[in-house]
Chains A and B, each alone.
Chain A
Amino acid sequence: MDLDFTQADHDFRMEVREFISNNFSQANASGQNIEKYHEVTSDQMKEGILDWHKTLYKKGWLAPHWPTEHGGIDWSVTQRYIWDQECANAGTTPLIPFGLTMLGPVIIAFGNDRQKDWVLKGILSGDDWWCQGYSEPGAGSDLASLRTKAEKVGDHYVVNGHKVWTTLAQYADWMFCLVRTSSEGKPQQGISFLLIDMNTPGIDVKPIITVDGGHEVNEVFLEDVKVPIENLVGEENMGWTIAKFLLGNERTGIAGVARSKKAINKLKEIANSEFNDGRPLIEDSSFNRKISELEVDLMALEYTELRTLAKESKGEGPGAESSILKIKGTEIQQKISELTLEAVGNYASPYLTPLSVRSYGSNYPEVGPDYSQGAAQNYFGMRKTSIYGGSNEIQRNIIAKMVLGL
């Protein structure tokens, strides 16, 4: 048992750090080069988000977790961890996970040769933006109760239904979608995994505006949408197996340790700049204590994640541990946003029009220090993290059942 990285790991860290500093442009990230009060078109948003993706594609570093024959790299688990850490420290634009993290591994494991060819290429090049058609109004935590129906008619499926909380579907070219192909047996047994072209007639994407004022999630209505049968992944009615495989693959970086560390550093900077009774807020013992407690909690999570990674590098797949990472990771992220809101004091209240809705019209000039911008909205928005990806209540159920045998 030791905590040290090897010299090779250290060299690797220096190499990726240099690459990031030479190639990541903060200005291009997430449309930050767009003028503060300017209207932002949907295309500009998409371009901003894809900028870093395309840089990594050129370098060949986009999909380290894929097998090399499909465009991955044979980085060790430790190297991948270092890479994630360095990206977070530099504040690089988070990569859109739907293709790279979620669908890619599914296609590699279950897709046929044709699918492996076109789907993986499109994901890597950034030409195909994927979204995830999972949740429905009546099927949230209980995903297996989904009702969107696909009926086989000739060489097509005809899909009818209603998906919800579809993240960034407004930019999507394609959707991987869970549909019901059979009502026989248990609900899990009649689900299939389909690839649907978002330009097919009968698809209607409607924005859902969230409490932070932003537009990230959508409703997707499907009415008599024709999907060629070659867009079925795996076999008919094996969608649930694929869905479970996909969720298991989502674990990389789910704890968000490196990004949380960075956010705590920012919180400390804010607490250094804000004054409380004439002294920097960071010197206030009760506030300082809250930051320290948060840091200790994050340290524990970091080593829990490292233990998981170490196990993984020996080929032992993580089981329900990933639920610990999800619960603690999101609780810490939420707590950071909560303390950041607290730190900015009175300047918590000004509303800042989020970039994602600037194309809809008016926005108000920001007021107060830069670091206070959007602090409250971020706090509101972060509430979603304990709801999405299997709510934290569901994650606790998983641990109770799978680990504790209750």
Chain B
Amino acid sequence: MDFSFSEEQTLLRNTIESFLQDNYGFVARKAIIKSEEGMSNKNWQQIAELGLLGVPFSEADGGLDFGPVETMIVAEEFGKGLVVEPYIQTVVTCGGFLRRASEEQRQEHLPKIISGEEIWAFAYAEPQGRFNLSDIKVSASKKSSSLGRIPSNDAYILNGNKCVVSAAPWAQKLIVTARTSGEQAEKEGISLFVVDKSAPGVSTRDYKTVDGSMASEVLFENVTLNSNSLIGEEGKAYPLIELVADETIAALCAEAIGAMSVLNDATVEYCKTRKQFGQPIGKFQVLQHRMVDMFMQYEQSVSMTYMVNLKLDESETERTKAASGAKVQICNASKFIGQNAVQLHGGMGMTDELNVGHYFKRLAMIETQFGNADHHLKKYSSVS
């Protein structure tokens, strides 16, 4: 048993640290999220130049052939910097699907992701579906469309709408879950498609999100898809969706522990320097114990994050237990640490001017992304 990082992994971490130090100060980040674009293309190019966009991909596909631990390191460091550029969405989630796609699809798409030419977003959530990945109404059919456009034999017509698609405003391509057969919420009959955002019939409504990122409502109206946009086998995508969702959760957990560590450090530092009643407020035992609890929540979260990232290759049951268990811990810790970091900073914690509130908001959104604590507690108990 060994929880230490290799020299290569430490080097990777240091590289990201210094990139963030040079490019991602709090002021620089604020300018990025307030801009119309909402992210920095220059940063994205630099992230590409550092090779980070190729982390999980095989050498044959042009990547660095790293595993979950390296992805975890990137996500954790990005969490410390509150990076808004869509690394997890593009590389971990959409990349997760693509690296299991056909040779032809990998050759077509991966070079553009690795070089930083394309950003990708995963469109899975629907208004009625909440966190259920199989509750899907969006349909891809081989029948003729209502407009009378008759697709060729091997083509699909996509209809329906997806909600809160993270990073979609910046994306050139979407990976969309759609029903090719079966009833709503059935696990059979779900397929995955690559959809060009500029294709006729795709429209988006873009907006900023409370954590400084961007998302879209995406509408598909008789979008014609050719057969090589289908990832994997028709109607059999659900197990792959669950696998990639768990990998995404593992990365989100890493992002969260990065953010938590910044909040805990900032809170301890503030309580050492802020004086009231003639002494640093950190001398008050009630606040000391609160910070100890925050620290313990953080340590428990680090443990769960390492655990899930080391168990992603195990059986489906083991993997689900690990991912859902980790997400429950991370949700609870995110709430506790976020709320108390604000509380201990007092009024200052409530301001837009201090970084604390921004970390709090990001952690609150990580809580809901890919399922909240209730959802994953239920999922955990269903497999254990």
Interchain CB contact under 8 A, B346 and A141: yes
How far apart sit A393 and B211, CA to CA, in the bound complex (Å)?
A: 28
**CB contact under 8 A between A380 and B210, given known A208-B353, A346-B130, A350-B164:** yes
Interchain CB contact under 8 A, A367 and B342: no
B282 at the interface (CB under 8 A from A): no
Interchain CB contact under 8 A, A383 and B342: yes
How far apart sit A352 and B213, CA to CA, in the bound complex (Å)?
A: 13
A319 at the interface (CB under 8 A from B): no
The 11 sampled A-B contact pairs (Cβ below 8 Å) are: A208-B352, A211-B351, A211-B358, A275-B129, A277-B185, A350-B210, A380-B360, A383-B349, A387-B347, A391-B343, A393-B287
Interchain CB contact under 8 A, B351 and A286: no
How far apart sit A368 and B125, CA to CA, in the bound complex (Å)?
A: 12
Least CB distance from B286 to A in Å reads 6
**CB contact under 8 A between A275 and B351, given known A350-B209, A387-B343:** no
**7 nearest A-B pairs in the assembled complex, by CB-CB distance:** A211-B357, A142-B276, A209-B352, A349-B209, A364-B207, A346-B164, A351-B208
Interchain CB contact under 8 A, B125 and A278: no
- A376 nearest in chain B by CB position: B210
The A interface, classified by DSSP as helix, strand, loop or mixed, is mixed
A379 at the interface (CB under 8 A from B): yes
**CB contact under 8 A between A376 and B364, given known A210-B352, A342-B372, A368-B163:** yes
Interchain CB contact under 8 A, B207 and A387: no
Least CB distance from A335 to B in Å reads 11
B350 at the interface (CB under 8 A from A): yes
How far apart sit A78 and B42, CA to CA, in the bound complex (Å)?
A: 64
Least CB distance from A350 to B in Å reads 5
Of the candidates A135, A351, A369, the one whose C-beta lies within 8 Å of that of B210 is A351
B266 at the interface (CB under 8 A from A): no
The B interface, classified by DSSP as helix, strand, loop or mixed, is mixed
A-binding residues in B (CB < 8 A): 125, 127-132, 135, 163-164, 166, 184-185, 205-211, 213, 215, 217, 275-277, 281, 284, 286-287, 335, 339, 342-343, 346-347, 349-353, 357-358, 360-361, 364-365, 368, 372, 374, 377-378
Least CB distance from B160 to A in Å reads 16
How far apart sit A71 and B84, CA to CA, in the bound complex (Å)?
A: 55
Least CB distance from A374 to B in Å reads 9
Note all chain A residues with C-beta closer than 8 A to B368.
Answer: 341-342, 345-346, 348-349
Note all chain A residues with C-beta closer than 8 A to B353.
Answer: 208-209
A81 at the interface (CB under 8 A from B): no
How far apart sit A365 and B342, CA to CA, in the bound complex (Å)?
A: 29
